[in-house]
Amino acid sequence: MTGQIKGSVLFPVTQWRRIGGDISVVAWALQALKADWDVTILCLENPDFDALNSIYGTSLHAADFRIILLPAVYRWICELDPDPQSIQPLALLNRACQKIAAEFDVVLSCDKEMEFGCPGIQYIHFPYLAEHLSALTAMEGLGPAKRLAGLITGKFRPWMLLSNIKPSKLCDNITIANSKWTADLASRVYGTSADVIYPPVSWGQETGRENPDPLSFVAVGRFAPKKGQHRIIEILQQVRDRGFGVNLHIVGDPGPPAKRRYCEQILQMATPADHWIHLHVGVARPELIKIVNRCQFGIHATQDEHFGIAVAEMLRAGCIVFVPDCGGQVEIVGEEPLLRYQSDSDAVEKICCLLEDPPEQARLKRALATRSHQFSEEAFMHSLRRTVARFV
């Protein structure tokens, strides 16, 4: 403890098993609060703190927190829907949270928007409830009989009644977004303003970066059509056709067995070009760091990325990163038009232009380096602590 405990925090978590920006925020939020706040975690399953620490660089331990597990029947209900994007965990957790929220000084959710039954703090990565907003709003003012009738007719789904979410109350929360892009979207959906705290991106200076290959590109992200690894290959093939001997390292998780067809498609694309395309599937984080540190450039192809953890990781590693000119990822590279492409052909032109201009490469590396701290763990924790203290 760094001093006197400032108060109690209820911290609901829908699930721990995902790997990505939302769980990174959850882990580092717990890291930020554990010393000065009495934190109670409300969840469906016990967290694996060793795994979180290994993946995200935190130092979390069970003794740091009080953990409330929802009853086994809740977990059974969630298991009826195996979809990892299922809304059931949120519905159950929201209802449970409402029952005990008043016992705490602060309620803070860091993976999805929630209606706690009292004002709290919600950190959102995307307006998750937007597609259900009209139905939830229609249900809010109805009595039990009309709600049941709506359930029978299919107008309302069971989880909506179970969750007890009242959309009008979401605006009572302090809302934090992971990017200005997400904040603007949340404002349009919910009619509420949102502060921006960029997610924590772990990439310490101790990882080392000496003499990166001046013609190497790296792309980081799970294998999925929306991540656009096929487009990255096509873009850099056109760059090679113009006489630049670039090579590409694609690093990513293949996903669950049922969704690995795209990864297999990328393997088929890469096999005939294995002299310049290198696939690294399911590598451990230390190996990921080594690969990224060897590359001069990063490239990303996801459209309307909510933030872009992979983009920020490549930037923090010292790469010059090209991104689509849309979504929250443009906030990472900043006001650098040469790094923001509007089409695949535009990407080819800008990459070739930069490859021919070493002085501009040096300038961009300096400019991007000045942005790195915005996405650090320290910056995230400082801003979150300030927000929680302000709420109390």
Q: Residue 51: give its domain's CATH number.
A: 3.40.50.2000
Residue 351 included in any domain? yes
Question: Does one domain contain both 246 and 351?
Answer: yes
Choice among 125-129, 187-191, 256-260 with the minimum mean pLDDT: 256-260
Tell me, yes or no, whether 43 lies in a domain. Answer: yes
Judge whether residue 163 has pLDDT over 90: no
Q: How many domains does the chain have?
A: 2
Sign of the C-alpha dihedral, residues 70, 73, 79, 80?
negative
Q: Which of 58-62, 134-138, 173-177, 332-336 is predicted least confidently?
A: 134-138
**141/53 same-domain check:** yes
Averaged pLDDT score across all residues of the chain: 92
Whole-angstrom Cα distance, residue 329 to residue 168?
30
* Same domain (yes/no): 71, 157: yes
**Model-level pTM?**
0.91
Region 148-168 average pLDDT: 87
Q: Is 337 found in the same domain as 296?
A: yes
3 within domain boundaries: no
Q: Which domain holds residue 227?
A: 205-373
The model's confidence at residue 207, banded by pLDDT at 50, 70 and 90, is low
pLDDT in tens, 310-343: 999 999 999 999 999 999 999 999 999 999 999 9
pLDDT for residue 85 is more than 90? no
Q: In the predicted model, is pLDDT for residue 151 greater than 80?
A: yes
| pLDDT score of 358 more than 90 | yes
Whether residue 41 is found in the same domain as residue 74: yes
Q: Is there a single domain that holds both residue 338 and residue 300?
A: yes
26 and 13 inside one domain: yes
pLDDT (tens digit per residue) in 172-194: 999 999 999 999 999 999 998 99
**Residue showing tokens 């108060």:** 7
Phi, psi for 12 (deg, rounded to 5): -75, 140
In a domain, 2, yes or no: no
